[in-house]
Structure 1
Amino acid sequence: MTASATRAAWTIVGLLWVVALINYLDRQLVVTMPGPIKADLNLGDEKFGLLSSVFLWIYGFCSPIAGYVADRIGKRRVILSSLLIWSAATFASGLVTTFGGMLAARAALGVSEAFYMPAAVALIVDYHRGPTRSRATGLHLSGVYAGSVIGGLGGFLAEAFGWRNVFLMIGGIGVAYAVVLAALFPAPPENGYTATQEDVVIDTQGRPAFLSLLSSRGFLLLLAMNMLDGAAYWPVRNWLAEFFRGELGVSSAWAGVYGPMAFNGAAFVGMLIASNLSDWWAVRTPRARALVPAIGFMMAAPCLVLMGAVDEIPIVLSCVFVAGMSQGFLDANLMPAACTVVDLRHRATAYGLLNFAGTTAGGAMTYIGGYLKEQQVPFGALFQLAGGMIFLAAVLLVFVRPIVAKPAEV
């Protein structure tokens, strides 16, 4: 890779880091301000949970389409359009006065945000091949954690400025950055980059993208794994603040810090560890892309079970930290692992399908968690179930075997 290509590769990561931050900050705001939003819109736990579930369901169902579109019309165009539209939806969230209005704004957010991540991650692995792939992917996704951590301050911001003004401010920032991004995006490389053993053309029969992907045993294992991960960790993230507030007696302001902020801060630490470990280990075996997150999940599963069984805040926080780290282990390696089992021409579509599996399952479990809470079932039971699902996800990762094929000419 030439020096100019290297600069462009890391410039892409830096620019998209900010987009990833805004992406998750926007979606995280609702769950970190449950008190004022529920009071203003007169919502119970079931309806409040539906705000997150609808976002996840629509996000999930749109993700495969979004990935397919990015593979066909170009990733840059999709990224810019997505950022602009979801920022406008965030701004609109601060103007609504009814549950129906907020639900519509969250639905619009789900559609527009679905188009970002498959395009962005596929663009990054196009630029970063081999020894920097997990680090580049993980560094980009650290923006996700940064956005989620900042979102954890939603309770404080709501108390200081009002929850509506928070949405208006963040939405406006996103629209402004879309203009900046359009001006600074590097031009596509003219001569491409040297391919590696992880960049393969698997589907030589010219089959449609979805048929090609669903014919890959390794990809099906990743799909099932990500469904379990989403079903486990989305409700954990979405209900942690309310768990600390409603069941452990933490104030609304600190509940967002103890819950989403701690989980996502730990995910950032996990990403730093896992991305470097995976890039080092993958030189020796491509299986490292799947084995590293499997190790993280094996450590997290018993912590999730314990988190649902105790009410001592220091112990719960320790468990939240381990669980968050394991999510960072996966985030740094999900796309690199997919690269070892899918055709390089279908990467954005593959990531879209993975998003579909994780977010739709996560949306269902988030809604179920709210419904069960209204039936007097504590959130701890949901967290223990999450521990079992994370253990099964680890087992599936162990069985992912990279496809050995002739490296593609890129």
Structure 2
Amino acid sequence: MTNITANQVPPRILRRQSLALVLLVASGVINYLDRATLAVANEYIRADLGLSLGEMGVLLSAFSWSYALCQLPVGALVDKIGPRWLLGIGLVVWSVAQAAGGLASTFGFFVLARIALGIGEAPQFPSAARVVSNWFPLRSRGTPTGIYNSASPLGVALAPLLLPPLIAATSWHWAFFVTGGLGLLAAIVWVSVYRDPVREELSAEERAYLEAGESSEAAPKTSFAAWRALFRHRVTWGMMFGFFGSVYLNWVYLTWLPGYLRTERHMDLTNAGFASAIPFLCGFAGALIAGWASDRIVRFARTPISGRRNAVVVATLGMVAFTIPAALVESNVVAVACISIVIFLANASSACAWSLATVAAPRSRIASLGAIQNFGGFLGGALAPVLTGYIAQNWSFVPALLTGAGIAFLGAMSYLFLVAQPIPEEE
């Protein structure tokens, strides 16, 4: 019998890994296309429904609040039920909610549709973290985490390229109908094709590969008491506060970049649209490169948790460092270049943060800890567009960007000083 080492991937495992990542990237791109549809169709919707800027701000943030709150229970559900069915159900719910947005004729109905979208999309990234922990060994999870995280900026970058021609040819309603239909198709494919590994069906070599660096004992089933016990550890709080800072600064750009370039930088609509797409293409590269790099860093780190934590800290501090000149320089070219680096690092930080969850959590609660971290992050994501708009309206975008940099710095310090030892399984 051939002996397969931890660095050699058994052929059947490799096929399952590749299939899982393709499915996760596809669903992740659809996930972010759905989120970005409202921003792309912003002006058409405001004109059609007669919405004020304040109402549009509420509409833009409605998704984030429900998405953040649902992270708390959904992570435990993924660990208990498994990613196949939780993500499948989530795809159906969010796709129906997305299509319902295309039917909206009142502000209240649209808000409810966006809240439902946040609920449906909640299982995507906790499920992805669970899939990676199921199919990849402990020290090789950075690269696949970076790959599935790259779907986020890729979806945001594709939205302004794919949706405007559709809106121009039909109406803004069809942008919601088409993206909702794509999600329903993805749900059918995901549930039909994806399977978790079954220990009894794996060969000895396949089990040895997947369990490299971990106990060979099966992970116990999670419970509410075990989920609640995560909050007794400072690692959990450090990841929540840390991701709050990183996602806050990322969402400043995600929600306000076109408005900032047009209002503060006085770019015309065409140039602002082109300049807005460049940073998110850089973000796509950031997620891919960070995942690969974090696996290399971990090989030389004292422990897996310290290596992945340090990668998050360095990327987040880089976001802070380049946001300051982005806010202060006079040159639009230099500002966009700095913003591109910030969003490159923001997606690198996110990929590293999700891979950190796979080594900081006990095996039975990986999705739970990842979802709790994401809950903290999207509290920042929900606050960022509101606070940025308030500061920009009363002063300018310069203090708004510097405020985001300060919050991200505090997040980096939370990771650095609170995330030290992995949470043990014995609870």
Preserved CA contact (<8 Å) 1:199 1:344: no
Classify 1:40/1:71 alpha carbon distance in 2 versus 1 (closer, same or farther; 3 Å): same
Classify 1:22/1:404 alpha carbon distance in 2 versus 1 (closer, same or farther; 3 Å): closer
Query: What is the Cα deviation at residue 198 of structure 1?
Result: 6.5
Which of 94, 112, 115 is equivalent to 1:86? 94
The equivalent of 2:403 in structure 1 is 385
Does the alignment pair 1:230 with 2:230?
no
Classify 1:242/1:120 alpha carbon distance in 2 versus 1 (closer, same or farther; 3 Å): same
Which of 36, 44, 58 is equivalent to 2:44? 36
The equivalent of 1:10 in structure 2 is 18
SS in 2 for 1:97: coil
The percentage of counterpart residues that share the same residue type is: 25
Does the alignment pair 1:397 with 2:397?
no
Which of 335, 339, 342 is equivalent to 2:354? 335
Preserved CA contact (<8 Å) 1:195 1:407: no
- After the TM superposition, which residues 155-234 of structure 1 pair with which residues of structure 2 at under 5 Å, given as runs? 155=164, 157-186=166-195, 188-189=197-198, 190-191=201-202, 192=207, 194-197=210-213, 208-234=225-251
The equivalent of 2:278 in structure 1 is 262
Preserved CA contact (<8 Å) 1:290 1:398: yes
| Aligned-partner residue type, residue 229 of structure 2 | S
Does the alignment pair 1:360 with 2:376?
no
- TM-score, normalised relative to structure 1: 0.90
Query: What is the Cα deviation at residue 351 of structure 1?
Result: 1.4
Query: What is the Cα deviation at residue 370 of structure 1?
Result: 2.9
Preserved CA contact (<8 Å) 1:234 1:359: no
Larger relative contact order (C-alpha < 8 A, sep ≥ 6)?
A: 1
Q: CA RMSD for the aligned pairs? A: 2.7
Whole-angstrom CA distance in 2 between matches of 1:86 and 1:207:
26
Whole-angstrom CA distance in 2 between matches of 1:205 and 1:133:
21
Whole-angstrom CA distance in 2 between matches of 1:397 and 1:274:
17
Which of 320, 328, 335 is equivalent to 1:301? 320
Whole-angstrom CA distance in 2 between matches of 1:187 and 1:231:
33
Deviations 1:134-163 (A, max 9, x none): 111111111222111112334554344432
Whole-angstrom CA distance in 1 between matches of 2:173 and 2:330:
33
Unaligned runs of 5+ in 1: none
Whole-angstrom CA distance in 1 between matches of 2:42 and 2:324:
25
Whole-angstrom CA distance in 2 between matches of 1:207 and 1:106:
28
Whole-angstrom CA distance in 2 between matches of 1:162 and 1:364:
30
Preserved CA contact (<8 Å) 1:219 1:338: no
| Aligned-partner residue type, residue 181 of structure 1 | W
Deviations 1:203-245 (A, max 9, x none): 9998823332112222321111011122222232111122223
Whole-angstrom CA distance in 1 between matches of 2:362 and 2:129:
15
Whole-angstrom CA distance in 2 between matches of 1:121 and 1:180:
19
Classify 1:265/1:369 alpha carbon distance in 2 versus 1 (closer, same or farther; 3 Å): same
Unaligned runs of 5+ in 2: 1-8
- TM-score, normalised relative to structure 2: 0.87
| Aligned-partner residue type, residue 17 of structure 2 | A
Classify 1:46/1:368 alpha carbon distance in 2 versus 1 (closer, same or farther; 3 Å): farther
Whole-angstrom CA distance in 1 between matches of 2:183 and 2:270:
24
